[in-house]
Structure 1
Amino acid sequence: MGQTARVSAFAWTAAGSLAAWLWLLLCQGLFWRTDIRLPRRTRPDEWPSVCVVVPARDEAAVLELSLPSLLAQDYPGRAEIFLIDDGSSDGTGELARELARRHSGLPLTVDSPGEPPAGWTGKLWAVRHGIGLARARDPEYLLLTDADIAHAPDSLRELVAAARTGGFDVVSQMARLRVESLWERLVVPAFVYFFAQLYPFRRIGRKGSRTAAAAGGCVLLRAETAERARIPDAIRHAVIDDVALARAVKRGGGHIWLGLAERVDSVRPYPRLRDLWRMVSRSAYAQLRHNPLVLAGTVAGLALVYLVPPAALVAGLASGATATAVCGGLAWLVMAGTYVPMLRYYGQPLWLAPLLPFTASLYLLMTVDSAVQHYRGRGAAWKGRTYTRPEALPDEG
């Protein structure tokens, strides 16, 4: 009787996982599709002025691959770059000046804001300084882009055209991340897949939708909107600053578009598992608002959605429990099928699709590790700085 009850419970759990996947497939904004690219755009009669703000901390290793692409932007209007050296110890600022001398193109200003005061993350303190310098030029748009992002020559022109044509306050592209090492192939496409599942791109671009997110590596922001939403002051403590920025804009009635990039690429390598682990775990618990109950629910949800299907298939086949095996197998099939478009977008072999449960288990462990580091007082550690939860400040979301 007890054995039958256990089998029945496992069958119901497998059925619940299958139901979750059918709901995700049909009702979660078609998150699995990868056809959300820059929207329809036409050439404006007059090109608005743009200031590009690049926060950079110890980025000398990637700057030679990224900064020349910004200097070489083929933009018909007035544009200028502000690289804000956030206390680098590797000569980032000096290298930026040397690259500007070596490559002709857009004018470049390199400056430093000093150490951030209490309540500010270093990146947002640098962004604030850059926006302050840019305001003296009275730009219509600000392009906030990371120091590891390389842009195609027409990137700025296409972003501005899309924002003007669609009337968007924010146009953001999820830069194509590097996928060369074995671990990058296993983890990186899944990172973007999970992000899209959490923040379906179609919902973000829909007026009236509460879903808000951006990709911090490439954010074109209307300067007037930034001032109205008090960016970055209103989100000064946010570790996940791109999502916080999008929420602040939407709360003010702004219109946002987010999609996958075609020729905006991250040049930062993550060759080892520990590099990717650090990238995810530094902010995973912040995404859960440092709430242990939300953490417990997230772990349970990840286990039900990603780990139960293969376990149910194997257990069902081994025990002869047909219903369990069928539900587990179908759930695993739907899971792998929804992952295929992202693998194709990244040019990866499709045999990686059935391995998604393994990758999800890594993300589950990274999330738990993020919480452990938080309670050990290490918070979100990045490049020599540690950010703990700012209890005295309002929540960014």
Structure 2
Amino acid sequence: MNKPIQAIDTHSVMFITPRPDVIMVEGKGSWLVDNNGKRYLDFLQGWAVNCLGHGNPGMIEALNAQAKKLINPSPAFYNEPMIGLSNLLTTNSCFNKVFFANSGAEANEGAIKLARKWGQLNKSGAFEIITFDHSFHGRTLATMSASGKPNWDTMFAPQVAGFPKADLNDLESVKKLVTDKTVAVMIEPVQGEGGVIPATQEFMRELRKLTKENNILLICDEVQAGCGRTGTLFAYQHYGIKPDIMTLGKGIGGGVPLAALLATDAVACFVPGDQGGTYNGNPLMTAVGISVIEQLLAPGFLDSVKAKGELLKLELLELSAEFGLEGERGEGLLRALMLGNDIGGKLVELARERSPEGLLINSPRPNLLRFMPALNVSDDEILQMCGMLRELLKEVA
């Protein structure tokens, strides 16, 4: 006998996006459960946030243990997890200094401020940051202005000035924008919201060379692509380059609000009063961040992400060939299936409504699907997802 569907009253929740009439109440690993007891195979994971899936024991243990000791002494003081996570990040990257924030947008806002401050001190007030069409850097006014998302230039006009747009993987388009006002180039190693478009090896290396030759900073926005998502701890490590600034969010907290701005000693030029934040670096969130990074660094973990990414790639290519689609692209466990037609939204809806078990996927553009599973997703769950998707494609494609 089926459970009765519970009615929900959401009148007090501000409307910002259409949501289905279900409430997610529980999660474990790659699965979510709603208020009616229906299970969903989750290949969204909070938009690449839950890098270790739902209900990760190590994260829960860290959260519980730290909550009993100290939650927030104020950012006016050091705390042990703040220092521990800073050391963990710098030891395993090319950076020397870390500022913690609460969201990727906040980390990117900090990166913009840091680059402009460096420009004031080192480049006669240079302030322009070259970004890229179809990029996504956040939802503050400055990070929306930095983003190359279509129609965002008029949504909350006027924009913050100083973000000329180049074309990803086109070095000449970057060169044309370089002036004496240019202080930095800001790039996502994989454009997630733009449709899972990776920067090429050659482009990233030539971009790093160009920025060095012109005394311009290179900022890697790894909010979506960082923290193991592409199969290396940080996405820039794929390219054999060293950026000057990197931002992290989403995966670094595994589901709790945590982000980070990292910089080399040569660039870390904030002075008291330049940057802050009431909750930034609080021990409750940074304790969880330590658990996340330690699990990502466990022997064999990142190799398993690469292997699972390859499995997902092969399965998506098989679906593409079977249904006459346009292939797949991505890095690690951040991948997209190109559909060839604008059926993405329909597939997302049918996948969620599928019975008896739903599937959670995403269509950032109407002609493709994006997959962001937990990094510890099982091979069987990847095969199960592709089996579910095969059923849906038979219906729609």
Q: Same fold (TM over 0.5)?
A: no
* Bigger helix share: 1
Provide the TM-score with structure 2 as the length reference: 0.24
Provide the TM-score with structure 1 as the length reference: 0.24
Of structures 1 and 2, the larger Rg is shown by: 1
